[in-house]
Structure 1
Amino acid sequence: MKSLLLSFTLLGLVAVLKAQEVPSDDQKDYSGIWYPKAMIHNGSLSSHNIPSKVFPVKVTALEGGDMESDVIFWKNGQCHEVKILMKKTDEPGKFISFDDKRFIYITALPVKDHYVIYCEGRFPGELLGMGKLIGRNPEENPEAMEEFKKFVLRKGLKEENIIVRELNEHCVPESD
């Protein structure tokens, strides 16, 4: 369950990914603070595994194109922060994490400063897919939500599995 919760939380941190584009070496810098706006799962999550609170995520670009995410999750009435290493692959927008068992895909939306982070991986007994709509600022954006719904449909997921939680800024990763 901890792995499942961290995977879902990872999506929050990956949301921090696409902050700025650095024009050198075709390498992208996803550093910064990102705000989750909606989540999706492939139907395999039970209600007790769906986060009740969402928090901003901090992403830091590392040498070689890898990234580190500071993800916050809520457990036992407290904020807990975890760092997750995301290793770049040869495929643009694709990263690997969690002991090389989960793939993370970052998809830019046509709405400025909005992305979808989608994580796929095997958990004991099942294939799990989860995603988040993230943005550079915490404000709602109806156009970004419509693009997220289109992504969900293209992925073959059910729109009724979209979850929107109020952003909780009680626990915020420290910025540099």
Structure 2
Amino acid sequence: MKCLVLALSVALVCGTQAIFVPRTVPEDLDVQKVAGTWHSMAMAASDISLLNTERAPLRVFVKELRPTPENNLEIVLQRWEDGSCAEKKILAEKTEVPAEFKISYLDENKLHVLDTDYENYMFLCMENAAAPGQGLACQYLARTLTADEGVMEQFHTALKPLPVHIWLRFTPTQAEGDPWAPRQGGSASECPGRWEWGSPLSARSPRKQWEVGVQSR
């Protein structure tokens, strides 16, 4: 059963934009159920510099989630470094707030799980709490390599209250449809597929590609 774990919203506190995470339902996230392979389907961020190049700091590809016996979460990521795709591991430590984890990755120090049905999709965000509204990046993760357009709309709706303006969507380019496989003439250390700019709903267009997606607020 689909479980809306958290919704992020934006508030003005003492004239400064701050992000807070209200608990919307009494049910806690079952960390053990999120174990296994995931694929990054879409990304959104509060600042273009977080995603605009292959080596942008938060342009990372989630590969696997590994719960620990303590209900912490090990996140296996891939990202471009020094001309190849390097694997990274982040430990997300549980907090007293359901579906909120403490992390240490670049300037990001919080990870929020917005929504998941465990079997098909998950929405999560990484936040720099020291710079509210400036260091926020979110992803739609799927269990398969095919994005569900209904879930994509749901992701778009979930992020509407947030200060995210830059969007990227994944477009598989492999002949076999597996973007994680080595490209022709390439090595197994390449990051997956092709990412293009645009609205997360632009896949409805015949080209199924993204155009520059800077959202005005």
TM-score normalised over the length of structure 1: 0.68
1:93 deviation in Å?
0.8
Are 1:40 and 2:44 counterparts?
yes
User: Among 165, 168, 182, which residue is 1:163 paired with?
Assistant: 168
CA distance, structure 2, for counterparts of residue 108 and residue 71 of structure 1: 20
Deviation at 1:80, TM superposition (A): 0.6
Of 137, 146, 153, the match for 2:153: 146
Call closer, same or farther: CA 1:54–1:86 in 2, change over 3 Å. closer
SS of 1:65 mapped into structure 2: coil
CA shift, 1:56, in A, is 4.9
CA contact (8 A) 1:72 1:79 kept: yes
Q: Check 1:145–1:152 CA distance in 2 against 1; reply closer, same or farther (3 A cut).
A: same
Q: Measured at CA, do residues 44 and 140 of structure 1 come closer, stay the same or move farther in structure 2, by a change above 3 Å?
A: closer
Q: Shift in Å at residue 162 of structure 1?
A: 1.4
Q: Which runs of 5+ in 2 are unaligned?
A: 1-27, 173-178, 182-187, 190-217
Report which structure shows greater RCO (CA 8 Å, sep ≥6).
1
The alignment partner of 2:113 has SS state of strand
Distance in 2 (alpha carbons) for counterparts of 1:135 and 1:33: 9
Distance 1:41 1:31 in 2: 25
Structure with a larger share of its residues in helix: 1
Output the CA distance in 1 between the equivalents of 2:30 and 2:112. 15
For residues 85-164 of structure 1, what are the structure 2 equivalents within 5 Å?
Answer: 85-98=91-104, 102-109=109-116, 113-121=120-128, 127-158=134-165, 161-164=166-169
Residue 10 of structure 1 corresponds to none
| Runs of 4+, deviation exceeding 3 Å | 48-51, 53-56, 109-112
RMSD across aligned positions (CA): 3.3
Give the drift of 1:102.
Answer: 0.9
The answer to whether the Cα contact below 8 Å between 1:44 and 1:128 also exists between their aligned partners in 2 is: no
Aligned identity (percent) is: 18
Q: What residue number does 1:28 align with?
A: 31
Q: Is the 8 A contact 2:44 2:168 kept in 1?
A: yes
